[in-house]
Chains A and B, each alone.
Chain A
Amino acid sequence: MTFIRPNFRHPENHTNEIGYSIKNYEGALSTLCAGCGHDSISAAIIKSCFELNLEPHKIAKISGIGCSSKTPTYFLGKAHGFNSVHGRMPSVTTGANMANRDLLYIGVSGDGDTASIGMGQFAHVVRRNLNMVYLVMNNGCYGLTKGQDSATADKGSAGKKGVPSVFDSIDLCQLALQLGAGMVARSFSGDKQQLVPLIKAAIKHPGFAFIDVISPCVTFNNTPASTKGYEWVRDHLEATGTIDFIPEKSEITIDYPAGSSRQVQLHDGSELVLQKNANDYDLSSRKAAMNRIESVKEAGNILTGLIYHNENQGDTHASINTTQRPLNALTEADLCPGSAVLEQLNAGLR
């Protein structure tokens, strides 16, 4: 979508606690189609980072290839970005994270990028429990090549060409759950109320956090026969309880009915408050989450919201016992054993 963004900002446009305005979190103008769900997700990322008072340059945004993977250009212009190769965002993010554990890693991928060409890398980055936010902008089709079905297109769902998909779809949330992700969520690009707190929770999650965001492709997959179109998705959402993100210093002012909410203390002192629905399950039970996804699916609906949350899984660095200092900050003095050691080694080789 090409347009000229107005420079005008409301004079009372406020700044966050570190003195940045929302503008500091924006990126270049989007070149996606007007109405693309992906732009809404970019806006939600911008809002989340702004509200969490994150320094933009301490974030690295990494993507694969596809419409979704173009979006990192459109948010966080002060952050380094890396548009890598198709389906390989997870490995590049893994390397980046190994080099510097102090940055926040936002990985952006699409359904083709993750559920097809990048399936192997997706599975293994979950297994490694890399500390990152893994966001799939899921529209059920290949947009840049003009609308072919992707592996998340539901059986029987049809896009612009009107040919129903003949294969079963892959449910990325179920996959992430099975592979052991510490946080699994699903949302809808049109539901900012739900999406922003989920992104915040994912950012604060100290390990692998996965969000599958259904994001309609207005050009190729927004037909009445598509299960990834605005109309169908709006009509078939079934959310787990609402989620609120409460920063460390904030006073909890929302009043929840007794017994209906659960507070989750995060590692930095902030809290997630989950307000349960009547039929909700234990969000820390992988088995219950799996069952719930299946039963909602059987009813013909899509389960959204926070689906699974276990904040005590550690991350890759914990598993391989890496030093707290970022590896990219270590110098010769830290890394090179020197000539004396080499002399000993030589002596041992004679």
Chain B
Amino acid sequence: MSQTQPLAATNDLVIRFANVNGSGSASANNLFSKAVFRLGVPVSSKNIFPSNIQGLPTWFEVRVNEQGYLGRRGGYDFVVAVNGQTMVRDYQELLPGGYFFYDSSKRLPDTFQRQDITLIGIPLTDICNANYTEPRLRQIFKNIIYVGALAYLFEMDFTVFEDSIKSQFAKKAKLIEPNIQALRLGYDYAAQHHADCCGLNIHRRDLNGDQILMEGNAAAGLGAVYAGATVAGWYPITPSTSVVEAFEKYCQAYRVDAATGTNKFAILQAEDELAAIGIVIGASWNGARAFTATSGPGVSLMSEFLGLAYFSEIPVMLMDIQRTGPSTGMPTRTQQSDLLAAAYASHGDTKHVLLFPANPKECFELTVAGFDLADRLQTPVILMSDLDLGMNVHQCDPIEWDDARRYDRGKVLNQQQLDDLPERWGRYLDVDGDGIPYRTIPGTHPEKGAYFTRGSSHDEYAAYTEDGTVYARGMQRLLVKWDTAKRLVPAAEVSGQNSRIGVVYFGTSQYAAQEALDQLRTQHRLDSMRIKGFPFGQEVAEFMAAHDTVFVIEQNRDAQMKTLLVNELDLDPQVMVPVLNIDGMPITASFLVAEIEQHLESLSIHPKPQEA
């Protein structure tokens, strides 16, 4: 057996923290990843948590990568094993040459006999017991102590941690010193007992510029504030809950009238998801901007109402923070498996506008754009985020706002406009060929503009009809509107190398897809396209038509985006090769490279087949 060399790298490593849910580990782990970020080194973290409040295993993965790859890489170079329940698994899954960091207050079991890894034992419990008497403090500071030890082992600049603690506890100054002391305990112990044993380092760089760290859900909630949403109806469901919590937090900060102390927003926790979207529809019908956030089970429940909004043409902003389905599925794992349920939600012929953000900045921007689109198109718009994006902290460019920007409230007639109309107004009359009629808000005019909104078939003047010709005319007009939507949704991002082979991806697959493409392009010529909206614009149709083989990367079992492409663009399904990840974990670059390489081989496409 050849001796495995301990891993050695600077600013390129993956660390797994194995913790117990509810033990206070999250803030310590975030302290660590934020320190990496503040050292100017790109970092991404994934909280892999159970559907549980206390007691079950939880993991926190941190990838440090100075090339800026922020997706999951796959594999662990360093494990912080502080959960007895998962210790065997954490030990076994460590990569050869990796480092196993554990609480050496207790001896490792005799079965732990790997020769290809480095053990780093720190007696966390003993250190805590010697320094703290209160059980609660022992638990909290145990986490901080291992962060201090990591600071030494990875040769990280200790002042960054001190500064983080100071800003974190700026309002609770008495907590600053004890936390720094705990960090120091871990740092000093590692320095005395484990000098020069770790080949993995995190050294200061200046690679992060003005980037920020944010959760996608917080960005979406903030987007709703900036977009002028005033009404939110919602029902708690993981992983969407923090969208409305963020909306409320930002509203409390920026939407309370200074003079009266009253709220310029109304947030109602509804009895279920049906009521949540009912509230949104009622408020939008009445001229306010309103939204709700949910996940797959909520989308199922909201389907009937989505059909009403589609057919009676009421703006709806819905955020679907997708999780692993079907049914309850894995509620705390990620997936992109609601595409079909969302795109065609409800009975009858219905289709809905979808937006696919890939990072928190886009959660903000596409939320703002979504409100404009919903108002402009008078139809539901669904932001297709996911658990990975929504609940994990992501590094991205800062969020921007142009103060000259005005909300697009779409075709809404005011009193004066109603008076000035040369001919009879029809709520469902397309007067300018874009398939979008003009609407009125209740209370606008004493004599004109009142109509009866209904989910039953109606003519151009909103009167009930059972005349099949009139009904069909209305349904065809909705397709004209659908064509208008194709021009208004954000265009796909296309990157070309003039190849006959394309790679398509969307949403959070972006991180891994970009890394995989960088690797694959060293061997192959590949074009790529990131889809950002549905219905597909002309550029999507053109891209698909221009390639003989298109890999479609998705995080679901049934290749739902491929189905949408086949269905909406009338494509030959044989052109597309689905590349699917369904284990509920964010997709990795190594998986993509392996899958795509294998297909390229089977297609007899060899590296660098032709000159550029």
Contact = CB atoms under 8 A, between A and B. Distances in A.
Interface of A: 55-58, 60, 62, 72-73, 77-85, 88, 90-100, 102-103, 120-121, 123-124, 128, 316-317, 320-325, 327-328, 330, 332, 334-339, 341-342, 345-346, 349-350
A98 B446 contact: no
Contact of A100 (B214, B286, B308, B398): B286
Interface string B197-214: 000000000000011111
Contacts of B451: 80-81
B271 A124 contact: yes
Contacts of A345: 222, 399
A84 B266 contact: no
Contact of B305 (A60, A88, A330, A335): A88
Contacts of A328: 230, 283, 286-288, 441
A95 B267 CA distance: 10
Interface in B389-433: 398-403, 406-407
Contacts of B441: 80, 328
Contacts of B49: none
A84 B455 contact: yes
B287 A323 contact: no
B409 to A, nearest CB: 10
Given A328-B441, A332-B228, A346-B398, A78 B447 contact: yes
A339 B403 CA distance: 6
B254 A341 contact: yes
B279 A94 contact: yes
B212 A350 contact: yes
Nearest to A335: B228
Contacts of B285: 82, 92, 95-96, 99
Nearest to B259: A323
B303 to A, nearest CB: 11
19 contacts: A57-B447, A60-B286, A81-B452, A84-B455, A88-B275, A91-B233, A92-B279, A94-B282, A95-B278, A98-B230, A103-B442, A323-B262, A327-B288, A328-B286, A335-B230, A338-B401, A342-B226, A342-B399, A350-B213
A96 B442 contact: yes
Count chain A CB atoms within 10 A of each CB in B230, B261, B265 and give the residue with the most: B230
Contacts of B308: 84-85
Contacts of A60: 286, 442-443
Contacts of A88: 274-275, 278, 305
B225 interface: yes
Contacts of A337: 225-226, 250, 254
B126 interface: no
A323 to B, nearest CB: 4
Given A95-B285, A332-B228, 4 more contacts: A73-B452, A81-B451, A92-B279, A98-B230
Contacts of A341: 254
Contact of B278 (A79, A80, A81, A92): A92
Contact of A84 (B210, B278, B447): B278
B317 interface: no
A334 B37 CA distance: 35
Contact of B452 (A72, A123, A332): A72
B455 A322 contact: no
Contact of B283 (A96, A120, A121, A320): A96
B271 to A, nearest CB: 4
Contact of B450 (A80, A100, A330): A80
Contact of B274 (A58, A62, A91, A323): A91
Nearest to B453: A82
A85 B282 contact: no
A345 B443 CA distance: 38
Contacts of A77: 450
A337 B399 CA distance: 13
B75 to A, nearest CB: 29
A334 B282 CA distance: 22
Interface string B224-250: 011010110100000000000000001
Nearest to A69: B454
Contacts of B518: none
B138 interface: no
B452 A320 contact: no
B166 interface: no
B365 to A, nearest CB: 12
B116 interface: no
Contacts of A320: 263, 266-268
Contacts of A330: 228, 230, 264
A116 to B, nearest CB: 14
Contacts of A324: 260, 262
B454 A83 contact: yes
A94 B279 CA distance: 6
B129 interface: no
The 6 closest A-B pairs by CB, nearest first: A95-B282, A91-B278, A99-B288, A80-B442, A95-B283, A328-B287
A339 B226 CA distance: 10
B206 to A, nearest CB: 13
A78 B445 CA distance: 9
Given A80-B453, A323-B263, A328-B441, A339 B400 contact: yes
A45 to B, nearest CB: 15
Given A81-B453, A85-B455, A95 B305 contact: no
A340 to B, nearest CB: 8
A121 B275 contact: yes
A99 B305 contact: no
A342 B214 CA distance: 13
Given A82-B285, A342-B399, A58 B280 contact: no
Contact of A82 (B213, B263, B274, B452): B452
Nearest to B38: A350
B290 interface: yes
B284 interface: yes
B568 interface: no
Contacts of B131: none
B216 to A, nearest CB: 13
B460 interface: no
B424 to A, nearest CB: 15
B444 interface: yes
Interface string B284-310: 111110100000000000001100100
B134 interface: no
B270 interface: yes
Count chain B CB atoms within 10 A of each CB in A85, A98, A317, A342 and give the residue with the most: A98
A89 B225 CA distance: 27
B31 to A, nearest CB: 15
A341 B144 CA distance: 32
B452 A121 contact: no
